[in-house]
Structure 1
Amino acid sequence: MSNPFEGMGDDEKEYQKVVSDNVNKRMEGAMNDLKKKYSEGRGGDDMGDDGPTGDAYQKHQQMQKKRADAARAQKNASKKAEAEMIKAQRENMQQNDQDESSDDEYDDLLEELDADPEMEALRAKRISHMRQKQIDRAENLAKGHGSYRIITQDEFLNEVTTSKWVALHFFHKEFERCKIMHHHLELIAPIHIECKFINIDAEKCPFFVSKLQVRTLPTLVIFRDGVAVDRLTGFQEMAVDPSEPDKWHTSKLQAWIASTGAITFAMPTEEIRKEMEKMGITPRGTIWSTKHANADDEDED
């Protein structure tokens, strides 16, 4: 480094040295004062409200932290929802032996004639339809479809309003006919994923019993987009033989629910029944019959 005093006379060198020492002492003093102020939390006095210790700066830092925490929480929630959707899709693929949207069907579609543009368009439409059905099925499973579950009064609104179609059974634990309804709905729920099947103890939900004017048990209420659109009170015309009102096939209940639009189901025609009999195919395990069931169990609240 070159000498800053090179070329100067002795008097001039002495003068410049005194000035330089004075400046250095002032700078050192100013730095020490600034460090002391920050150590005492008074840095904002000189730096203003936007300084590192000012109120505006601190509020800004807090707001940035809140935004970062909120973004992180949203990201975690999205990852969790995506994980649940993937899990539901995997379970769907494992259990979906009867679903139309199997991998074999995709393979069959891909083997169709692809030279005809109309066939290509039709194939693309069918594939899109089946993929949408898979998505809908996975979403429904994530919402609790596919099983027959009991809910509480606090869960009522969330369960009824989060699915397009819901079948809700109001029951009493001591009524035999409510047990019969349970039996049939437990068989239907895993088959018809398009509708949510749930039940609630009428004694433990007085508000909704009153709101929906439930007077007879069992009562099955069908909701569409959270609005009650139809109901089945007791067994009405379920039984084929009036002398045995509690003995009827599950398909009778399926047909009634299908009539509301909640599920897709068609009763076999007589011709199909006969063909099934020739092939040795008969209904199994879907009829509840008990000597203890009687009309007294269909009581008023």
Structure 2
Amino acid sequence: MDNQAVEMISKVLEESVKVVEEQVDAQLSQLNKIDEDELEKLKERRLEALKKAQKQKQEWLSKGHGEYKEIPSEKDFFSEVKESKKVVCHFYRNSTFRCKILDKHLAILAKKHVETKFIKLNVEKAPFLSERLRIKVIPTLALLIDGKTKDYVVGFTDLGNTDEFSTEMLEWRLGCADVINYSGNLMEPPTKTQKSGSKFTKVEKKTIRGRGHDSESDSEDD
């Protein structure tokens, strides 16, 4: 094969390689463009979700979420519950020291879980409501969703039967009732270690009306 033929073949091969390279570059460019477009769409969706979440948070805050507050009467209870999807109401009495223990934990959770309204009501100012909801043990937490009472936390039985339960333990218990958005494991309490003499009571999700004997009671339990 003479030099001229070799040169022609080499030229053809170079042109072929060049064409292939251009095709590959074009395909890569197209892929990069698709990736950039998808990335931009993801950013837009993420931004929209953040805006929606912020709007929802502002709506909750405008309804009194984000703080643990006392309502003055049982009449106010109905309006408070009506305007919020999820509500935790602490029925308390000033003379019951365990109510003050709950106050501390509920104030912390109110700030953390703005999706839920946290309120407290003195049972002495709410005779009709206490009778209607069968509030007999003090303290009792009524857990409401869509205006209906779905569950109760009565005394500290579900919290380990100890005055020294953690905020995380109460948070878990409220999560079991779906009254807060709980991100942990609902199958087990946040800790299994308690001081001697105390014992956990396993709580199934959506347990309806527990009963406790470690707190002050107005009358005999059912």
Give TM-score, length-normalised by structure 2: 0.66
Contact 1:251 1:267 in 2 (8 A): no
Judged with a 3 Å threshold, the aligned counterparts in structure 2 of structure 1 residues 133 and 114 are, in CA distance, closer, same or farther, namely farther
Q: Give 1:154 deviation, angstroms.
A: 1.9
Judged with a 3 Å threshold, the aligned counterparts in structure 2 of structure 1 residues 114 and 161 are, in CA distance, closer, same or farther, namely farther
Q: Which amino acid aligns with 2:178?
A: G
Contact 2:92 2:138 in 1 (8 A): yes
Aligned with residue 123 of structure 1, among 26, 43, 49: 43
Q: Give 1:127 deviation, angstroms.
A: 1.6
Are positions 1:257 and 2:174 aligned together? yes
Match of 2:70 in 1: 150
Match of 1:161 in 2: 82
Residue deviations 1:53-96, cap 9 Å, x none?
xxxxxxxxxxxxxxxxxxxxxxxxxxxxxxxxxxxxxxxxxxxx
Q: Tell me which stretches of 4 or more aligned residues in structure 1 moved more than 6 Å.
A: none
Match of 2:216 in 1: 298
Aligned with residue 112 of structure 2, among 191, 205, 215: 191
Please give the secondary structure, in 2, of the residue aligned with 1:155.
helix
Contact 1:221 1:232 in 2 (8 A): yes
Q: From the CA coordinates, give the structure whose radius of gyration is larger.
A: 1
- Cα RMSD of the aligned pairs, angstroms, is 2.3
Residue deviations 1:75-126, cap 9 Å, x none?
xxxxxxxxxxxxxxxxxxxxxxxxxxxxxxxxxxxxxx99533333332222
Contact 2:86 2:146 in 1 (8 A): yes
* Separation in 2, partners of 1:296, 1:139: 38
Q: Give 1:203 deviation, angstroms.
A: 1.0
Q: Which structure carries more strand by proportion? A: 2
Counterpart mapping for 1:155-234 below 5 A: 155-234=76-155
Residue deviations 1:157-199, cap 9 Å, x none?
1101101111001011100111111111011111111100000
Please give the secondary structure, in 2, of the residue aligned with 1:263.
coil
Match of 1:135 in 2: 55
Aligned length: 161
Q: Which amino acid aligns with 1:136?
A: Q
Q: Give 1:300 deviation, angstroms.
A: 2.5
Q: Give 1:140 deviation, angstroms.
A: 0.7
Contact 1:255 1:266 in 2 (8 A): no
Contact 2:87 2:116 in 1 (8 A): yes
Please give the secondary structure, in 2, of the residue aligned with 1:198.
strand
Contact 2:155 2:215 in 1 (8 A): no
* Separation in 1, partners of 2:62, 2:179: 18
Q: Which structure carries more helix by proportion? A: 1
Please give the secondary structure, in 2, of the residue aligned with 1:189.
helix
Q: Which amino acid aligns with 2:65?
A: H
* Separation in 2, partners of 1:297, 1:236: 9
Contact 2:137 2:215 in 1 (8 A): no
* Separation in 1, partners of 2:134, 2:217: 14
Q: Which amino acid aligns with 1:148?
A: Y
- Identity value in percent: 32
In structure 2, the gaps of 5 or more residues are 1-32, 191-212
